[in-house]
Structure 1
Amino acid sequence: MSTMQSSGTIATEALTRRERVVLAELAEDVTLEEIATRLFVTRNTVKSQVRSVYRKIGVSTRSEAVAWAEAHGIR
């Protein structure tokens, strides 16, 4: 089993509400700057949240994160 599959439930529960929002936003065709504007935070804040999400769900790319989110009903 891959890390994404074996730790899916644990990772979903470990994500904060804001991290789930950011993860859902990653599925849209928008830049980090646009996500930041939508969420009323700085681009650096979004970058930090994205890094945290990637670490918690065990991925390293945006496409992997989007696939993980879809597989776990976050969208």
Structure 2
Amino acid sequence: MSMLETTRTIRTLDEGLTRRERVVLAELTEDVTLEEIATRLFVTRNTVKSQVRSVYRKIGVSTRAEAVAWAEAHGIR
């Protein structure tokens, strides 16, 4: 990846995902349930589900495995 592509990726990531969405995405990379993520973040499971849907839409994926692969490719963990 060129420096320009890296800069665009970082800019897209910074502009596209909220801080909380980045936290939720990082949590998805671990082997935990949405309920466990909700407990860790002191929110409801439905809040996490909503944030996960938003992350999926923003990064253009439709499964947790795809989101995890995207996160790892973009240095989120």
TM-score range, shorter chain: 0.7 to 0.9
* 1:71 maps onto 2:73 in alignment: yes
Aligned residues: 68
Structure 1 residue 49 corresponds to structure 2 residue 51: yes
Provide TM-score, normalisation by structure 2: 0.84
Larger Rg: 2
Q: Superposition RMSD on alpha carbons, in Å?
A: 1.2
Higher relative contact order (CA 8 A, sep 6+): 1
Aligned partners of 1:15, 1:40: CA distance in 2, in Å? 20
Equivalent pair of 1:23/1:65 in contact (CA under 8 Å): yes
Report runs of 4+ in structure 1 exceeding 4 Å deviation: none
1:12 CA drift (Å): 1.2
Q: What per-residue deviation string (whole Å, max 9, x for no partner) do you get for residues 9-52 of structure 1?
A: 25412100000000000011000000000000000000000000
Quote the residue 2:3 is aligned against.
none
* 3-state DSSP of counterpart to 2:61: coil
**Under a length normalisation based on structure 1, what TM-score does the superposition of the two structures give?**
0.86
Q: Specify every segment of 5 or more residues in structure 2 that has no aligned partner in the other structure, as ranges.
A: 1-7
